[in-house]
Chains A and B, each alone.
Chain A
Amino acid sequence: MKNAVGRDIPESLLTNGREVYQGKNYMDGKYMQKAAPKTRRYEKPQESKIVDSIVDALKAVGARSGMTFSFHHHLRNGDFVVNMVMQAAIEELGLDEITIAATSLGEAHDPVAQYIEDGKVVAIQTSGIRGKIGEVVSAGKLKTPAIIRSHGGRPRAIEAGEVHIDIAVVAAPTSDCVGNCRGIGGKSNCGSLGYAMTDAKYADHVIVVTDCLVDFPNMPASVEAIDVDAVVVVDSIGNPKKIASAAARISQNPRDLMMAENVAKVIASTPYFKDGFSFQTGVGGPSLAANLFLEQEMNKRGIKMGWAIGGICGPMVEMLKKGLVGKVIDVQDFDLDAVNSINQTPGHYEMSASQYANPANKGAFVNKLDFVVLAALEIDTGFNVNVLTGSDGVLRGAPGGHPDTAAGSKCCIIVTPLVRGRMATVCKNVVTVTTPGDCVDVLVTDYGIAVNPLRPDLIQCLDEAGIPHVTIESLQEKAYSLVGTPDDLEWEDKVVAVLEARDGTILDVVRKIKPVKL
């Protein structure tokens, strides 16, 4: 069945009331029954929940074959915890039929690809899917299609009981002996633990893995002892160099800077650019550089930013310290400046993924956003964005908060170069729709700006400010004239991944790619 973004969704996926994507805000006003975990009572006072090893922790919570294990990705590419837990479960305890429900998976988790090939891990639910896991899933080796969700779609699915977590594993930079966890104060600090919060509340069992045990009580706790069954102390939960980079530096690339300057001009031309406005930006070259030019526009106008959200890095913390932004609310930290600031700098707070972006709760932060500046792997002439699959059809990205912030914000700006190498970023049809075109408002490229025709009000703003803009079709034609018209990808029937819209409907599917042989 064709959905609202023109994607053909196989009928076989439309079971148990599952629907195809119908357009934004389709679920507004509907009721949902929240699921509740089945948890063990610890009435008799415990001195400590520390056990000797991950295997002992898994045994203590009754780990069995067929269970769903959840993980969060604050340790990013430095994470050791997913691999340690999977090794203990599969190689030491001999479990199989395992589902991994992670907030994101990347190159750090390449060893999991072997467990997929061996048939031990049979299902994956995640936002990011990269590295070897992306390759083996794309090659059709996972027993069931991977389910890809946004950062807001995941807590929605957990709360609705569509994902039932048997065992949540929290990778904690610090914990006390009963499982109060924080993202700071240890040797592998990551700052916010926002993605782990919903998991810990809705899982039947919670295991904390830490490499820095601190005195009770570890306060203020991001994940609280009231939800934790067992604590394991290991030598190292991750490689600090890959968890948080040194300060994210603003690009010096003149092309990035030109695009960033245009982003700031577009923002300044809209009526939402007034004292107290709200903002989120990505950490890619031109997105991050937009901070710099936005600051200049704010100074020119004599206004300040009310608040910023997101994955946070140094330049935003800098603006907070300068008093240019009132509050920063943070679900994940990308560099040491942000890690060392959260819950320390006045006005820098932590939030859960649900509070950040869940479309089914009663007031996520994304719904109050004025502006979001985002990147794209591809954007098509219908303003649909792909941030999941490469132009060759292989899974190598993550929706992350992209669809959530695009849908919630008043003005969503995509900033991307027109072509990358021989890849046309602006194309006729994206490989996979991860963010629907009805949520995307403006495209800024190095060859020009295009405004979504669904937003005549913004077109008028740009015209009044004298900012030149063109149709997105003309940008696509320009791109193809530079790199040539790409052949359409060829697919087999087998679906290797289902891309859920943030509201739980099906936005797109990824099929197994048929590689071109000459």
Chain B
Amino acid sequence: MKIENNAVAGTLESSDLQVAIEPIENGIELDITSSVMNQYGRQIKATVLETLERLEVTNAKVTIVDKGALDCTIKARVECAVFRSCGKSDKNLPWGGALK
């Protein structure tokens, strides 16, 4: 998917994360801050990259502020931000396809 506009998903509540996504031209630029960085930083990075790959996002600046969210939450927030950035979050979401 091609990131078209700036979009945000999620909150800064405990056990949630906020994902901000912006269009850029030259690959994936990822910035993560997390309250559980020392134990889960690498896993958060892997989950975000996997999710972007599954959605075929190849160019995006992604900023994550994590407050100890579980993997399922991280995936959902990243997916939502990507679909919002393309204006496709309101209907016909590919449940069972790109969205698992």
Residues of A within 8 A of B (CB): 391-393, 421-423, 482-484, 486-487, 489-490, 513, 515-516, 518
Contact = CB atoms under 8 A, between A and B. Distances in A.
B14 interface: yes
Contact of B14 (A421, A483, A513): A421
Interface string B79-96: 000000000000000000
19 contacts: A392-B36, A392-B37, A392-B38, A393-B38, A421-B35, A421-B36, A422-B36, A422-B70, A423-B68, A484-B40, A487-B38, A487-B40, A487-B41, A489-B38, A513-B38, A515-B37, A518-B41, A518-B42, A518-B45
B42 A487 contact: yes
Nearest to B43: A484
Contact of A421 (B32, B43, B45, B68): B68
Contacts of B71: 484
Nearest to B39: A486
B63 to A, nearest CB: 13
A482 B71 CA distance: 9
Contacts of A482: 70
A516 B71 CA distance: 19
Interface residues of B, number: 19
Given A391-B39, A487-B40, A516-B37, 20 more contacts: A391-B36, A392-B36, A392-B37, A392-B39, A421-B14, A421-B36, A422-B15, A422-B68, A422-B69, A423-B36, A483-B70, A484-B43, A486-B36, A486-B40, A489-B38, A513-B38, A515-B37, A516-B38, A518-B32, A518-B41
Interface string B35-74: 1111111110100000000000000000000011111000
B13 to A, nearest CB: 10
B46 to A, nearest CB: 10
B18 to A, nearest CB: 15
B43 A487 contact: yes
Interface in B1-39: 14-15, 30, 32, 35-39
Interface of B: 14-15, 30, 32, 35-43, 45, 67-71
Pick the 9 closest A-B CB pairs, nearest first.
A421-B68, A486-B39, A422-B68, A516-B41, A392-B38, A421-B15, A516-B38, A422-B36, A516-B37
A247 B30 CA distance: 47
Nearest to A483: B70
Nearest to A422: B68
Contacts of A513: 38
Contacts of B30: 518
A421 B67 contact: yes
Nearest to B42: A487
Contacts of A490: 38
A504 B76 CA distance: 50
B50 to A, nearest CB: 13
Contacts of A489: 38-39
B36 A515 contact: no
A486 B39 CA distance: 5
A194 B71 CA distance: 47
A5 B44 CA distance: 32
A492 B73 CA distance: 33
A446 to B, nearest CB: 15
A422 B38 contact: no
B40 to A, nearest CB: 6
B47 to A, nearest CB: 9
Contacts of A516: 37-38, 41-42
A489 B41 CA distance: 11
A490 B38 CA distance: 8
Most buried by A among B36, B42, B67: B36
Nearest to A486: B39
Contacts of B43: 484, 487
